[in-house]
Structure 1
Amino acid sequence: MSSIDGMDIGVFLPTGQDQWAAHGPRELVAFARRSEELGFSSLFVNDSLLGPRIEPLTMLAAAAPVTERIRLGTGALLPVLRRPVQTAQTLASVDQLSGGRLTVAVGAGFPGRFGRPLHELSQVPWERRFARLDETVALWRALWAGAKEFHGEFHSFAELPPATAPFRVGGPPVWLGGATPAALDRTGRHYDGWLPYPPDPADYAAGLAVVRAAAERAGRPPEAVAPALFVNVRIDRDAEAARRTMDAYTRSNYGLPLAETEKIQAFALGAPDEVAATLARYASAGARHVVARLGALELDGQRDQLEKLAALVGPGSR
């Protein structure tokens, strides 16, 4: 997809049941194909056990053979919901099926209704969840590299079976979602990319500087960490109309009004020029890979937003 000041633009698949129920989930495959036809650079899926949805890795496995170029990603996968060895095999399999187009953004969950209940459902302690996440990713990478054993604080295997090798040597890039000071440091030290959603571009710029400094301290080049952005997008005739629809969306998705959600997450709302201006501010802050969650409650509205965003950013380099 063309860039706004050098940014690749991708989109989220609307995998929540409320969004595709009227048409059936197989329409998501057509949505994936259309996203590639329009030139978007990536197609991401989110992850949860709260609220029925198509499971993200299953969705990416379905999208892989019907697309050829578009990057496939998770934003963010919650490893705590899955057994780590089996997940490494699944991710390697999706990477193979896609010809090496998989990007895995991961997260550790958040306090409140979107965090602890998921750990309880998975029978995994909430405490030390960030250390558990880092070790799980280290285990994946060890399996992808052909390790015969692994010994950590949370996972220990004296003997590992031969693992499915990813398409790419070393496996798919693993990004981290999160913007706490600890998350920024961990991103710079251990991860291949950063996928936050700060509501202020200035916060993005400041966080990216911390990530890059942490990478340098760890002996890594700052450019080793891909600077990405999760942003909610609604293109409408004006800002007021966009805010009304996005308010309904955030209430349905989070149980929160837009006025509260936009204190936490990034939003680009309004007429096309207003949305472009917001994205440009994040580009100036250093974001280079944008993944847009489209603000529409049903699949027809999602398709409409997909076309509008494509028209806004236009065809470009691939």
Structure 2
Amino acid sequence: MSIVGMDIGVLLPTGTAQWGPADDPRELIAFGRRAELLGFSSLFVNDSLVSPRIEALTMLAALAPATEAVTLGTGALLPFLRRPVQTAQSLASIDLLSGGRLTVAVGAGFPGRFGRPLYTLSELPWERRFARLDETVALWRAVWDGAASFHGEILRFSGIPPMTRPFRAGGPPVWLGGAAPAALARTGRMYDGWLPYPPDPAEYTSGLRDVREAAAAAGRSAGDITPALFVSVHIADDIDSGRQALDAYARATYGMPLEELEKIQAVVTGTADQVGERLAQYVAAGARHIVGRLGALDLRSQREQLERFAELIPALRTAAGRAEAPDREAGRP
């Protein structure tokens, strides 16, 4: 269900911080189906052990037979939490069950409680985590192609038995989250998409330029990499009430106030027109797959935000068309 020139997705509220006392997590399946009917082109889930949530790959496996056309994605999967060969099998299985609708955005974790303690729980070193991530993705791709062995600097396996093959040859696309200079270069060299959350559209413009320069240096084209965006959204009657809702969300989810969260992540609120205008700035900066995280703290409010967010899809599609028109006229891809 891809919108021409523009994909709009939504992050499912799989964490208990986004559920009210009476909410039933099994409602998430109906939530995903409703999002598909409303015209969203993707359903994403995030991954962590910091707060209780439905495990990411379990959620996607449940959504695979319950949906028909939407992309099913991770935003972002933390591969170090799982055994790499087993994860390749799980991802291939979801891709197979969904008929080739899986997209895997990955990350290496962050300093503080969102990163180093999780490596300790996984019995892996914090050091060289980015190299480990890249090798894990390379291992997945090798296994998906039928490799019986893999010999990297960190990961080395021999005698890999025949594994489940994904629906698509080569496996699902793998995106990278992150906007540090090294992440931009790695995205351009080896990943199929980029899923950052820069607080300012200008940062997105410069980051995407660096990704594409790295891709060109590696002999790849700009079209090899999907430019995506992860953004927290709350549509309200006015900016003040929207900021109050997102502040409550930030404190419940991250243990920090909104004014701290918005320094490091893309956060958009206000009326529907104001939210649409701000998101259109990211579209003009080059984003072509927006994944919206709905800033609400119970499933009823999440559903209300889903309905309101869906109303912006036509305008964002139009914004993408406007942004692409100059390139078409100039004969650029």
- Report the TM-score, using the length of structure 2 for normalisation: 0.92
8 Å CA contact 2:45–2:75 kept in 1: the answer is: yes
Q: Does the 8 A contact of 2:204 with 2:285 survive in 1?
A: yes
Aligned to 1:14: 13
**1:32 maps to 2:24:** no
CA gap of 1:125–1:232, structure 2 versus 1, over 3 A, is: same
Residues 125, 207 of structure 1: CA spacing in aligned structure 2 closer, same or farther, 3 A cutoff? same
Deviates more, 1:184-193 or 1:152-161: 152-161
Query: Is contact 1:2-1:313 (8 Å) kept?
Result: no
User: For the residues of structure 1 that align with 2:111 and 2:87, how far apart are their CA atoms?
Assistant: 24
**Helix, strand or coil at the partner of 2:287:** coil
Q: Residue in 2 aligned with 1:100?
A: 100
Where does structure 1 lack aligned partners over 5 or more consecutive residues? none
Pairing 1:1-318 to 2, within 5 Å after superposition: 6-20=5-19, 22-314=22-314
Query: Partners in 2 of 1:159 and 1:97 — Cα distance?
Result: 26
Query: How far, CA to CA, are the matches of 1:99 and 1:312 in structure 2?
Result: 28
Q: Helix, strand or coil for the counterpart of 2:233? A: strand
Question: How far is the alpha carbon of 1:155 from its aligned partner?
Answer: 1.3
Q: Distance in 1 between matches of 2:22 and 2:127?
A: 40
The alpha carbon displacement at 1:312 in A equals: 2.5
Instruction: Tell me if structure 2 keeps the 8 A contact 1:106–1:175.
Output: yes
Give 1:25 shift: 1.3
TM-score when normalising by structure 1: 0.97
Q: Mean alpha-carbon deviation: is it higher for 151-160 or for 138-147?
A: 151-160
Q: Which structure has the higher relative contact order (CA within 8 Å, separation 6+)?
A: 1
Share of identical aligned residues, percent?
68
Cα deviation digits, residues 2-48 of structure 1 (max 9, x gap): 86x94311000000023235222110011011010101010000000
- SS of the equivalent of 2:197 reads coil
Amino acid at match of 1:164: T
1:103-125 CA-partner distances (Å, limit 9, x unpaired): 00000000111011111111111
**CA spacing shift, 1:133–1:2, aligned 2, 3 Å:** closer
Cα distance, 1:213 vs structure 2: 0.4
- Give the drift of 1:75: 0.3
RMSD of aligned alpha carbons:
1.5
Distance, in Å, in 1 between the alignment partners of 2:244 and 2:157 is 52
Unaligned runs of 5+ in 2: 319-333
CA contact (8 A) 2:17 2:252 kept: no
**Is the contact between residue 47 and residue 55 of structure 2 (CA under 8 Å) also seen in structure 1?**
yes
Aligned to 2:329: none
Offset of residue 154 of structure 1: 1.6
Extract structure 1 runs of 4+ deviating beyond 6 A. Answer: none
How far apart, CA to CA, are the structure 1 residues paired with 2:126 and 2:88? Answer: 22
Q: Separation in 1 of the partners of 2:55 and 2:128?
A: 25
